[in-house]
Amino acid sequence: MNLVQKIEEWLKEEVVETEGSENSEYLDDLVVEGRHECAESLLAQIKKWKKELGIEVAYQRSSQDG
């Protein structure tokens, strides 16, 4: 497993672990929501860069992926 794969794996785990925090008004939950959004965004950016570089894209986002 290379560095990018390790990063992707950690980000996927972060997305799963932080799912469901979107509807909370508490500060701690807002921080978790931010972590979730950041992890999803970074995974999308890695996917974009891999496509630009002709590297196989291993991570597939949910149906929200455009």
Please report the pLDDT score of residue 40 as a whole number: 93
**Band (7; pLDDT cuts 50, 70, 90):** very high
pLDDT at position 31 over 80: yes
Domain-located, residue 65? no
Mean per-residue pLDDT over the chain, rounded: 79
> How far lies 5's CA from each of 2, 29, 58, 60, in Å?
5, 28, 8, 13
* 8 Å CB contact between 21 and 29: yes
Whether 59 maps to a domain, the answer reads no
Residue range(s) defining the domain that contains residue 14: 3-18+28-52
Is residue 12 in some structural domain? yes
For residue 42, being part of any structural domain is answered with yes
Contact status, residue 41 vs residue 63, Cβ threshold 8 Å: no
